[in-house]
Structure 1
Amino acid sequence: MHRPTLSILSAAILLAWPQVAAAEDKLTVYTYESFTSEWGPGPQVEKAFEAECGCDLEFVSVADGVALLNRLRLEGGRSDADIVLGLDTNLTAEAKAGGFFVPHGVSTEALTLPGGWSDDTFVPFDYGYFAVIYDTEAIAKPPSSMEAFLDGDNGKIAIQDPRTSTPGLGLMLWIRKLYGDNAPEAYARLSERVLTVTAGWSESYGLFTAGEVPMVLSYTTSPAYHMIAEGTERYRAATFEEGHYMQVEVAGITKKGADNPHAARFLAFMISPAFQDIIPETNWMLPVAPTSEPLDPAFGKLVEPARALLFTPEEVAENRKAWVDEWLRAMSK
């Protein structure tokens, strides 16, 4: 009497088995759009890791690092992400507090990141410094300090919104680090220099390269792209004597990813030469671990900040909302 039932159950199990196996052989990584673009590191990373793991690496992209954190909050415990790649240290304390991540368990002894690394939840994959990038054909004498930039009259700049963009947040924190409680006055001065505020980096940098604005908030490493990919030194970073704010980009394993054996493997791969070799000339940032070959000589021509400015993740988490509100009030006057 039970044989037909057993046969039906057996058939159902056999039909379901390929789907279970497929799920176990898939790794879903949330990241930002420029990482997954055809010119970004994503395509090369996907090919290299899939060859190593024999699995399917799927990227899901949003606009920026801030948007990644916002998406995790919206999805709550229902996120499909195994890995989230593209938050930075200005957001990690908030991400930890949200309960989205688990300890990574990956050795980070090989890291060469300035200042070292000791976080058990996130692993860095690149770093850089924010900078005002200017067009030498439009600006002959760039500002040599934040103070000179805020008081300058040599053209407008495109920046990003700190509510939606990690570079935009970085600029706000850069000014806050330099001016402290006097930051609102500095923001008000900045507002006189701003042509437009975009949601993300890509939009503002596109305006800059299209000649719509002579300056843009980006990274000290951005000129390397133009030197290597376009063979031009037209676009350069202004050196600020007070120092430049540092950004460290990280990845972490979600609670869902804790059950995926490929997740920890991906983070270990991420700080290996196979991944780090890809970063400098696709994400146009600096590697956090040794590469198999020296960087292109163009990287030796870049601005080297006199000081690396940085708030702790905890300081940003405690103050970010109040500081952003302060920024919005000053910038809207």
Structure 2
Amino acid sequence: MVKFSSIALAVLLAGTSGIALAQDKPNLTIYTYDGFASDWGPGVPLKQGFEATCACTVTFVGADSSIGTLRRVQLEGDTTEADILLGLDTAIAGEARATGLFADHGLSLDNLVLPEAWTDAQFVPFDYSHFAFMHDIDTMPEAPASFEELIALPDTIKIAIQDPRSATPGLGLLLWVKAAYGDRAPEIWAGLKPKILTITREWSESYNLFLEGEADMVLSYTTSPAYHIHDEDDHSIKAALFSEGHFPQIEVAGILKSSDQQDLARDFLAYLASPEGQQFIPTTNWMFPVVDLGDRLDPSFAGLPQPEKTLTIPEEDITANSAAWIDEMLAAVQ
């Protein structure tokens, strides 16, 4: 009886010790958009991969958009539970930087493959693509090759786009038009107005309208066809390439200054931008990785037509003028 009690006590103590160890594991909280944190998004394999190396727990907290995650952190300030904000892009990085909430990442990012050289001290890129309009070659065999050609199409042709105030693709389209046409942007928006079926709050709403045949074209990404090829063996969805060039979206992650897990957060960002982390991005987020994966890049991405010209606007110009440019766009299309 004494022997049994000793064994039982040892088992009990071991179990208690295991609970204590589990509770002592540091937790890394990452605010991101819902798609990234979903069961089918990159969050699941990234969590599993990083937890296997860190003796920690990773918790993704999803919001309806990446702009929504920034607004939440701004409201919470230094009291936020977030250690990392993941899913901003270069179009709103300047606004995020101006909040003063982000720490320098301190990482060497010499091996990145991006449309532009990367020198940002606070934000680490994790994927990219260019904005483009999708069309279905079964219903629209020939796509317009410029904004002006799109405007010249019959007004029965309808496009679905996103609101630049709530969706990063919507803001990306705004910057695309501004980068391509400058002071002529209001003229382009006025020309597009008869073609706009709707301006949705989020990307998924407008993309579903396109898939359901309600819209002839939809604002998305040059990499979007890879999803249809990979998951559906459907090669009919194509990106229309415009002669003006295309504006890129580069998605980024940053460490909050208020985080008490600075080293762990830095380790996660290093993992996110490494080949080990990047291998999960293409077929879960349907964007290009920021490193060369070689033959590990899924074949669905091979041969996707890409723009010959990448358009850019300096971050300081975006930060200073985006509100006025949004007003300019809304005035032209409403």
Fold in common (TM above 0.5): yes
Q: TM-score, normalised by structure 1?
A: 0.90
Aligned to 1:249: 251
Aligned to 1:29: 30
Aligned to 1:91: 92
| From 202, 205, 216, the counterpart of 2:204 | 202
Residues 102/37 of structure 1: CA separation in 2 closer, same or farther (3 Å cut):
same
SS in structure 2 opposite 1:107?
A: coil
Pairing of 1:100-139 with structure 2 (within 5 A): 100-139=101-140
How many Å separate the matches in 1 of 2:77 and 2:22? 26
| From 177, 180, 195, the counterpart of 1:178 | 180
1:128-158 CA distance string (max 9 Å, x none): 0000001222212210112111222262111
Task: Note the C-alpha offset of 1:216.
Answer: 0.7
List 4+ stretches of structure 1 deviating above 6 A: 18-21
Q: Number of paired residues? A: 316
> % of aligned pairs identical?
47
Letter in 1 for 2:311: L
Task: Note the C-alpha offset of 1:21.
Answer: 7.9
Task: Note the C-alpha offset of 1:24.
Answer: 5.8
Letter in 2 for 1:26: N
Residues 181/48 of structure 1: CA separation in 2 closer, same or farther (3 Å cut):
same
SS in structure 1 opposite 2:132?
A: strand
Aligned to 1:10: none
Aligned to 2:47: 46
Letter in 2 for 1:31: T
1:292-322 CA distance string (max 9 Å, x none): 6342333222121010011122111010111
2:270 equivalent to 1:264: no
How many Å separate the matches in 2 of 1:243 and 1:23? 51
**Which shows bigger deviation, 125-134 or 291-300?**
291-300
Residues 181/28 of structure 1: CA separation in 2 closer, same or farther (3 Å cut):
same
Q: TM-score, normalised by structure 2?
A: 0.90
How many Å separate the matches in 1 of 2:239 and 2:42? 23
How many Å separate the matches in 2 of 1:313 and 1:263? 25
Residues 252/24 of structure 1: CA separation in 2 closer, same or farther (3 Å cut):
farther
How many Å separate the matches in 2 of 1:311 and 1:257? 31
How many Å separate the matches in 2 of 1:39 and 1:209? 19
Coordinate RMSD, CA, aligned: 1.9
How many Å separate the matches in 1 of 2:307 and 2:27? 41
- List alignment gaps of at least 5 residues for structure 1: 1-14
- List alignment gaps of at least 5 residues for structure 2: 1-15
SS in structure 1 opposite 2:254?
A: strand
How many Å separate the matches in 2 of 1:40 and 1:326? 35
